[in-house]
């Protein structure tokens, strides 16, 4: 669901950045209300988990893939603003280090995956959960529904952004400058993959983790649910023997080991890996759209482009190395940002006291 460079006009990318930058700025300020210093490792773990989940693609019809994101899960546990921070960092590093998603289109990707997805999903979660207790099974159902709806809302946004390009941006002869696909093609393609496969994966991931935390780490759930009773009857549940920290480590390690499975489904629906993959004949085009060809190679400084080695050898090993590197870098980035914010806050307090 990452928008690559070249498929959206610079104007569309500028609008995305105009929405994303203020959202990230507000998120950076507001996230400190829930995520204190002692909870930074939790946010870092969630961000690393989201990075890995987005690497783990599931094959769907028509030669493309779809993936979960984990954004609604972060929103439920730490709040939607924390999800904005975690996903924005993960998306930035995916674009810069691995070429997954465009650098010019970064703002649009933030809007879709770091703003629309967690806020819509979290809103649906709260609506469905109602006044149910924190340990109620109703919360698990609400988490599943929220994850499913949030992911599909982001997919719909992507379909619309991609599909309006040939109507808004054309050459003098009427040929599309960027994405050649119309709304009648992009929306069905995006929603088919996400209503059937990716949405289900997001629902299972979100509900499964929330169900586990209800038994293993209720205090973590309370971070974003301070006034919610434990359950409808006031009786605490028996804690799980495996701690949440150990479960998180095991999950991340398992996802790292499984990421090479994505290589079993390398296809893509819109030629996003390389514009040369476009079926020009079926689109009535004689050549790749000018703007698409111009901007598709905007960023060429990736560390492990397309999650692999530059030589193209040992793809499974390259994918595994990318998973390890990405996990560590995303987690460290969150921790360093948190420490920097903590130092800045401490200095402001000292100046105020003086």
Cα–Cα distance, 57 to 320 (Å, whole number): 14
Convert the pLDDT of each residue in 126-138 to its tens digit: 999 998 999 999 9
Cα–Cα distance, 96 to 325 (Å, whole number): 13
Convert the pLDDT of each residue in 24-81 to its tens digit: 999 988 887 666 666 888 899 999 989 988 887 765 555 456 788 999 999 999 999 9
Q: Which CATH class is domain 10-271+283-353?
A: mainly alpha
Q: Which of 270, 323, 333 is nearest to 53 (CA)?
A: 323
Cα–Cα distance, 95 to 80 (Å, whole number): 22
pLDDT band at 235 (very low <50, low <70, confident <90, very high): very low
The per-residue pLDDT for 348 is: 62
The per-residue pLDDT for 22 is: 97
Output b/e per residue, 185-198; b: 16+ Cβ within 10 A.
Answer: bbbebbbbbbbebb
Q: Per-residue pLDDT for 171 more than 80? A: yes
pLDDT band at 13 (very low <50, low <70, confident <90, very high): very high
At a CB cut-off of 8 Å and minimum separation 6, what does 56 contact?
Answer: 67, 68, 255, 258, 259, 261, 262
The per-residue pLDDT for 261 is: 55
Per domain, the residue ranges of the chain are 10-271+283-353
The per-residue pLDDT for 163 is: 94
Q: Which of 108, 117, 111, 31 is nearest to 72 (CA)?
A: 117
DSSP code string of 164-176: THHHH-B-TTS-B
Convert the pLDDT of each residue in 206-219 to its tens digit: 999 999 999 888 88
Q: What is the mean pLDDT of residues 299-316?
A: 85
pLDDT band at 227 (very low <50, low <70, confident <90, very high): confident
The per-residue pLDDT for 274 is: 64
Cα–Cα distance, 278 to 269 (Å, whole number): 9
Cα–Cα distance, 8 to 161 (Å, whole number): 8
pLDDT band at 349 (very low <50, low <70, confident <90, very high): low
Q: Which helix (H) or strand (E) holds 291?
A: helix 290-295
Cα 229 to chain centroid, rounded? 30
The per-residue pLDDT for 284 is: 79
Per DSSP, the chain holds a count of helices (H) and strands (E) of: 14, 2
- 292 CB-contact burial (10 Å; exposed 0-12 / middle 13-18 / buried 19+): buried
Q: pLDDT > 90: what percent of the chain?
A: 46
Q: Which of 270, 110, 303 is nearest to 187 (CA)?
A: 270
What mean pLDDT, rounded, does the chain reach?
A: 84
Cα–Cα distance, 149 to 33 (Å, whole number): 26
Q: Per-residue pLDDT for 118 more than 90? A: yes
Q: Which of 221, 211, 199, 81 is nearest to 143 (CA)?
A: 211
Q: What is the pTM of this model?
A: 0.87
Q: Which helix (H) or strand (E) holds 149?
A: helix 137-163
Contact at 8 Å (CB) between 165 and 178?
yes
């Amino acid at each position: 669901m990452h928008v690559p460079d070249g498929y959206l006009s610079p104007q569309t990318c500028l609008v995305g950045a105009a929405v994303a930058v203020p959202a990230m700025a507000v998120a950076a300020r507001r996230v400190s209300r829930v995520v204190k210093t002692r909870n930074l490792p939790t946010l870092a773990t969630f961000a690393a988990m989201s990075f890995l989940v987005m690497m783990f693609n599931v094959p769907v019809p028509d030669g493309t893939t779809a993936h979960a994101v984990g954004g609604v899960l972060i929103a439920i546990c730490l709040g939607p603003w924390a999800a904005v921070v975690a996903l924005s960092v993960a998306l930035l590093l995916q674009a810069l280090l691995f070429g997954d998603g465009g650098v010019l289109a970064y703002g649009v990707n933030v809007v879709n995956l770091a703003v629309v997805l967690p806020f819509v999903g979290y809103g649906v979660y709260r609506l469905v959960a109602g006044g149910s207790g924190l340990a109620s099974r109703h919360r698990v159902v609400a988490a599943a529904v929220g994850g499913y709806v949030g992911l599909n809302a982001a997919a719909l946004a992507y379909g619309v952004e991609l599909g309006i390009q040939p109507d808004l941006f054309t050459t003098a002869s009427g040929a599309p400058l960027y994405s050649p696909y119309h709304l009648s093609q992009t929306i069905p393609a995006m929603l088919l993959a996400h209503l059937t496969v990716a949405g289900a994966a997001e629902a299972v991931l979100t509900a499964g983790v929330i169900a586990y935390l209800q038994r293993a780490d209720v205090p973590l759930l309370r971070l974003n649910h301070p006034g919610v009773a434990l359950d409808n009857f006031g009786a605490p549940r028996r804690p799980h023997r495996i701690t949440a920290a150990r479960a998180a480590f095991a999950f991340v390690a398992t996802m790292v080991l499984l990421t090479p499975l994505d290589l079993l489904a390398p296809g893509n629906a819109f030629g996003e890996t390389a514009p040369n993959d476009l079926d020009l004949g079926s689109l009535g085009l004689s050549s790749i759209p000018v703007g698409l060809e111009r901007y598709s190679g905007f960023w060429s400084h990736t560390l492990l482009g397309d999650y692999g080695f530059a030589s193209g050898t040992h793809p499974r090993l390259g994918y595994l190395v990318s998973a390890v590197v990405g996990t560590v870098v995303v987690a460290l980035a969150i921790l360093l940002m948190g420490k920097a914010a903590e130092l800045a806050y401490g200095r402001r307090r000292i100046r105020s006291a003086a």
